[in-house]
Each structure stands twice: as C-alpha cells, then as structure tokens.
C-alpha cells in the first residue's frame, strides 16, 4: 500500500471467498492430478488461503495437489536471494521426490506489476518447464501487469486504485518504494 492518495480496491473476506469460488469454476483443471501437478503458493503471506482452497478443490481420489511455498521480495529488496531460494527448493524437491511434477499451477492473491511472475517463470524454465506446463492463477490482477495470468478472479486498475486485502496491516516495506 504505497500511495494512500489512491482509493482502495478492497478485498473483504467475503469477496476473497467469492473470487476463490469463481476460480474453482473458471480454471480448467481437467489435467491436474496429484501425481502430475503441484501448486506453487507464491507469496504465502497473501496467497495461502486461495492456494489451499484451490489445491483441495482439485483433489482426486482423496489426494490433494501438493503445495510448494514460494517467497517473493518486498519492493525495496533484491530479487536474487529469492531466486536462489526457489532454485534450492526445486533442487531439494527433486532429490526428495525424484522429479518435479509435469505441471505447476502458480497461485498468487494479488498481481501488482507481474515482475514476480517473470522471474519465477525464468527459474522454472531452468528446470525444464515450458510456458505450456505452467498455469498462472491470480485472485486479483492489475490491468497493467507486465506478465499476464491465465486465470484471474478480478482485475483492477493499479493506476487508479490500490489493492488491499482485509487481513493487511501497515507494513513498512510497502512505504519504502512506490509500486510502478
């Protein structure tokens, strides 16, 4: 929440649930199975609820899709430690499970610039994932996002409004840099 002069695009708890239910219906999950698909929960502090609901909705035969958390930087932080952490997570996953799933669903509650989608996709490309093996799902997405999601619960105009969720409280990291 970097510019307090913009009106808020406020996502209440009820609105969050409504958008999750919309995504459950909207996302083509016909090829998602626990044996070939995992959910990347991007920015867990914002996306845990939506990722958990979707992973459960896409369960098959009593098995839920695995959820892998992916941390992302605050605006003033360097992306490089987060890139290395994702590489390490994926490498450990391969050592533990033998190989990565064939398909990944990236889930994010709020896409502001699309920059996180870009670097995450680049890292996944290093691990052999092509864009067609990835499904990008956003609860809310800025119309001006540089990288577009495949499925979006609701769009907002980041030039005119500031995205805010019901659970957010003041966070000093957001006031350090203006989101652009």
Confidence of residue 174 (pLDDT cuts 50, 70, 90): low
pLDDT in tens, 84-141: 999 999 998 876 666 789 999 999 999 999 999 999 999 999 999 999 999 999 999 9
- Non-local (6+) Cβ contacts of 9 within 8 A are 140, 156, 161, 162, 163, 164
Report how far residue 126's alpha carbon sits from residue 146's, in angstroms, rounded to the nearest whole number.
Answer: 21
- The pLDDT score that the predictor gives to residue 99 is 79
Mean pLDDT calculated for residue range 70-88: 94
Number of Cα atoms under 13 Å in the Cβ half of residue 78: 5
Write out the H or E segment, with its range, that includes residue 134.
Answer: strand 134-142
Confidence of residue 176 (pLDDT cuts 50, 70, 90): very low
> For residues 3 and 155, is the Cβ–Cβ distance under 8 A?
no
Cα–chain center distance at 12: 18
Q: Judge: domain 8-176, CATH 3.40.50.2020.
A: yes
> For residues 43 and 70, is the Cβ–Cβ distance under 8 A?
yes
- The pLDDT score that the predictor gives to residue 1 is 47
pLDDT in tens, 43-55: 999 999 999 999 9
- The pLDDT score that the predictor gives to residue 169 is 77
| For residue 172, pLDDT beyond 70 | no
> For residues 56 and 39, is the Cβ–Cβ distance under 8 A?
no
Q: Which residue carries 């698909």 as its tokens?
A: 37
Mean pLDDT calculated for residue range 169-176: 58
- The pLDDT score that the predictor gives to residue 97 is 63
Confidence of residue 82 (pLDDT cuts 50, 70, 90): very high
Report how far residue 48's alpha carbon sits from residue 41's, in angstroms, rounded to the nearest whole number.
Answer: 7
Neighbours of 145 (CB within 10 A): 19
Annotated domain spans of the chain: 8-176
Report how far residue 102's alpha carbon sits from residue 95's, in angstroms, rounded to the nearest whole number.
Answer: 16
- Non-local (6+) Cβ contacts of 159 within 8 A are 144
Closest CA to 43 of 144, 113, 133: 113
Confidence of residue 178 (pLDDT cuts 50, 70, 90): very low
Report how far residue 159's alpha carbon sits from residue 157's, in angstroms, rounded to the nearest whole number.
Answer: 5
């Amino acid at each position: 929440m970097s510019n307090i002069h913009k009106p808020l695009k406020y996502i209440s708890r009820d609105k969050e649930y409504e958008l999750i239910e919309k995504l459950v219906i909207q996302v083509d999950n016909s090829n998602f199975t626990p044996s070939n698909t995992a959910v990347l929960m991007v920015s867990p502090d914002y996306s845990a609820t939506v990722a958990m609901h979707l992973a459960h909705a896409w369960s098959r035969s009593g098995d839920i899709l695995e959820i892998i958390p992916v941390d992302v930087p605050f605006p003033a932080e360097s992306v490089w430690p987060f890139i290395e952490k994702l590489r390490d997570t994926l490498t450990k996953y391969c050592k533990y499970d033998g190989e990565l799933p064939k398909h990944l669903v990236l889930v994010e509650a709020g896409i502001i610039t699309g920059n996180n989608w870009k670097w995450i996709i680049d890292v996944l490309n290093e691990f052999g994932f092509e864009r067609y093996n990835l499904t990008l799902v956003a609860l809310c997405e800025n119309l001006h996002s540089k990288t577009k999601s495949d499925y979006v619960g609701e769009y907002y105009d980041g030039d005119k409004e500031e995205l805010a969720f019901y659970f957010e409280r003041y966070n000093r990291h957001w006031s350090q840099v203006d989101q652009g």
